[in-house]
Each structure stands twice: as C-alpha cells, then as structure tokens.
Chains A and B, each alone.
Chain A
Amino acid sequence: MAVGEIFWLLFQIVRRVPLVRKNPELTIRQMVAIGVSSIPLLFVTSLFTGAVAAVQAEYQFRNFIPDKFIGTAICKMVLIELGPILTALVLAGRVGSALAAEIGSMKGKEELAAFEALNLDPLRYLALPRFLAFFFMVPCLSILSSFLAIIGGWFVCVIALDITTYTYYTGLQYMFQNMDLFSGIIKSFAFGVIIFLLGYYHGLNAGEGAKGVGNATMKTVVSACVSLLIFDFFIALLMFS
C-alpha cells in the first residue's frame, strides 16, 4: 500500500517537472537549504571517514602490501561506496528528517490545505522544488564528500603513517577507472530520490501534534537508512557482479 502510494507520488511529481521553469527560484532556494547548509556536517564526517579508512588500510596492509596501495584502496572505497552511501545516510538524518518535520508541521498547521484553498498545487510548489533539490544536490554532495575523504586519508598518511604525498597520489591513480566515479554518482541520484520520497511521504502522513511529527521524522530516518542500504546492495550486484 505505502509502496504504491510512494510510486504514485513520484509519478505525480515527475509529471510536473516541466513546470519548474515557471518558478526556478523555489528550487534554487531548496538547493541552497539542502546543499549548502549540509556542507559543514559533511566536511567533518567525510574528512574523518577518509582518515579512518587510511588508518585501517595501513593496518591491514602492513608488511604484506606496498604503501602505495593504501591510496588505491581509499580511492576505490570512497568513490564506489563510502562517499555515496555515507553522504546519503548523513543527509537522510539531517535533511530527510527535516523534510518530514517541515511537511508534517505544514499539514498540522493547515498550510497544505491553504495551498489548495488558494488553488495552488502543493505538489508543484512544495514537492517539485524539494524533489529536484534532493535529486541534484545529493550527487554534488557525494562528489564533495568523496573528495574530502580522500583529503582526510592523505592528511593521516602524511602526518601519522609516514607515507609521502607522492606515494599516496600514485596509489590514487593506480587502477582508477572512470566507472568507479560514475557508479557512485549514478547511485547518488537514486539515493536523493529515495530520501526525498520517504521524507515527503512520511511528512504527508504525519499524525497530529508534536508526537505525530516526531514519529514521521523517526520513520523517515529508519526507512531511508534501510532502503538506502538495500538499494545499494542491489545496484552493486547489478553494476559489479
């Protein structure tokens, strides 16, 4: 039932995509809200993810595998998996839950009904700008996150692991394939859609009052995390098996 409603919601929003040119400012505003304001949090999580990846790789490779492969391992891990999925999980917690709370609260305060009473389509004015913002900003943030994680890994290698910048950089380039980068970006588009749909859907179905909105945000985070990981598994199976 819920899955059918979510796909119907997606269909209704996609139908309205051509209307975005009439109010581009609404989408830009959402892109700023979702994208720019998430950068500080991503900055910290991504740098430390790269740093941890470097420490773990060095520990596993010690005495068996040359140091330059640490850069290779970090590059592969970050571009294919860690960058996109960690970004998506962080954004599900930060902006997915905020979306559910915002829509749930608007529903409770009759703002959604006010849109309809003014003969304005809430899907066009509320859902579409947020959908496009999630769709485009999650991949952008994912690329940024991957870049920051690689920087984090480099920093730890140079400062703490006695690996030179040249060695790290050589490893990054070694065995690099464009597919690594593209697979992460393609997944991120889908991750953005998943986070948006679950946030918007749970917001629309939020119960009354603070408890209802709280439940909607909790359901969004839980369902988004589970859906993201399951989807990530199937896309990995499809692309790399």
Chain B
Amino acid sequence: MPNVDINPQDVMIQLKHLRKVFGRQEVLRDVNLDIRRGETMVVIGQSGGGKSVILKHMIGLLQPSAGEVTIDNIVISTSEFFDTRTIRKKMGMVFQMGALFDSMSTGENIAFALREHNPQLTEEQIQNIVHEKLELINLRAEFASKMPAELSGGMRKRVALARAIALNPEVILYDEPTTGLDPITSDVINDLILDMQRKLHVTSVVVTHDMASAFKVADRIAMLYNGHIIQVGTVDEIKNTTNPYVKQFITGQRKLPSGPGIDAPASED
C-alpha cells in the first residue's frame, strides 16, 4: 500500500515490493511503505510477523530477496545490490534488548563509534558529547562509568538510545523499545522517543506491538499482516479502522469478528 500522494522529496525511507525469505519461510511477501522525513512511523503486527525484519532491511543488516530499499532517495539494497555503509551514517538503531557492548562501560558504549568515525575529536570533546547524550536521555554523567550489567532494563534501553544518537543520525530505528518494561518505564521511553523527534528533528521508525506506546508516539501507524502492509494511517484513522485484522490487533481480540470472507489469522497459542 504505497502512499502515492506523498512528494518524493519528502520521503526519507521507501520500501518497494520488499520480499524476504529465510530458507523456506517467506516472512515478507510484498511490503510497500513510504516514511516521510521527520515523522514517527510505527509498524505494528503480531510477534514473529516480520516487523524487525523490515527494520533490519532499512539499516542494511539484511538484504532483500526481492524489491528495493531506498533511503533519502538513494537505493541502498536490492536482491543484487547491497551497499549500506555510507547510508548507515545517517541512521541509528535501538535494539530490542539494547545490545550494549557488555565489555565496555556505558560511556565507552556511547563513545566507541564516535571515536572511530571522528578521529579528529579530542578525548575531552568526546567526553563532552557523551555527557550531552546522557543528559538528553535524562541520565546523570555518573552513569558513564557504569557497566551494562549494573543497569536495569529501562536504563539499558536509554543508554542504547544515547549510543544510537551519538553520531547525530537523521533516522532512528527502534526495535520494540518498550518490550519487557513496566508501564511507567515504558512511558519514560515513549517520552524519550517524542523528545528525540522534537529536539533532534529526526525521522523515527518504531516497531512494536505495544498499542499504548504506538498511539502515544506515532504520527502514522502501519499494520503488517501476513507479509503485507495492510493499512497505513494516522492514529485516529487506525483507531477508527474498519479493517477487521487491524481492529482485532489494536483491541487485542483473540478472534476476528465473524463475517463473510474473513479468515482468522494464525493464533500462536
């Protein structure tokens, strides 16, 4: 479902006929999605449905089986072509479990890529940037010396966000940022996602199945179902959707409302 009414110059990320097969399993069948510059797009869908796979295509961690991924009007990958190194400088990613480097302190985690990509920076400048990023995610400078193992789940995700924004990306990708967190900590993360958009003017893509989070942070929501994007819309459009699958998902119903021509999606239990 491409958004044909969008000016191509306003599109930051474009997925065209994206297909991904792992062995015999076709995870993405035909995904079409345009994400506008500066917006927060939330991709929702069932666990194991391929949401994270979409995100990994955007940052070039996976190569499509078919279709193409375009970032900022540059095609970064198709089934034959794969060059994501230059485009990754524009992107930051917050992984589901944080994926902090366990052998490094919090400060080192944030500084590592910064130091490697900006050899002209002095150690003092790097430490200043680390403290500035920690401040952005509302953590005190003392946290720079803590090891990841000493941090709670919520703090790990905040540090992962600080690491993702260390290189001042234009796009931030969030892979299930609130999974495994209590509702209050989840809300702190939601506020941080909104903060990032407000303060850094970044384009954000959030993959989640936490509807409270999706409704809070999204400018638009895309629903992935059965390897396709079946609906894209604003929060209000999604809340008032007539699509039975979207309605079932956002209301957390185990079964679809019965009706002619409606097949229940596969249940995981």
Q: Which residues of A contact B (CB under 8 A)?
A: 106, 109-111, 113-114, 116-120, 125
Contacts and interface: CB of A to CB of B under 8 A. Distances in A.
A113 B97 CA distance: 12
Contacts of A109: 97, 99, 102
Contacts of B95: 110, 113-114, 117
A117 B59 contact: yes
Contacts of B100: 111, 114
Contacts of B199: none
Given A110-B95, A111-B102, A117 B61 contact: yes
Contacts of A106: 102
Contacts, number: 46
Residue with the greatest number of chain B CB neighbours at <10 A, chosen from A109, A118, A120, A125: A118
Contact of B88 (A110, A111, A119, A125): A119
A68 B112 CA distance: 58
B interface bracket (residues with beta carbon within 8 Å of A): 20 to 34
Contacts of A113: 56, 61, 95, 99
Nearest to A111: B99
Contacts of B116: 120, 125
B61 A116 contact: yes
A125 B59 CA distance: 20
A118 B84 CA distance: 11
A110 B98 CA distance: 8
A85 B95 CA distance: 42
Contacts of B92: 117-118
Interface string B85-114: 100110111011101111000000000110
A44 B85 CA distance: 48
B163 interface: yes
B89 A119 contact: yes
Nearest to B101: A111
Contacts of B88: 116-119
A206 B99 CA distance: 17
Contacts of A116: 60-61, 88
Given A110-B97, A118-B167, A125-B116, 20 more contacts: A110-B95, A111-B100, A111-B101, A111-B102, A113-B95, A114-B99, A114-B100, A114-B101, A116-B61, A117-B88, A117-B95, A118-B88, A118-B92, A118-B112, A118-B163, A119-B88, A119-B89, A119-B117, A120-B113, A120-B116
A119 B113 contact: yes
Contacts of B99: 109-111, 113-114
A121 B101 CA distance: 14
B93 A117 contact: yes
Nearest to A112: B99
Nearest to A113: B61
A146 B34 CA distance: 65
Contacts of B102: 106, 109, 111
Contacts of A114: 93, 95, 99-101
Nearest to B52: A110
B101 A117 contact: no
A117 B91 contact: yes
Interface string B111-128: 011001100000000000
A24 B92 CA distance: 27
Contacts of B113: 118-120
B251 to A, nearest CB: 31
Contacts of B117: 119
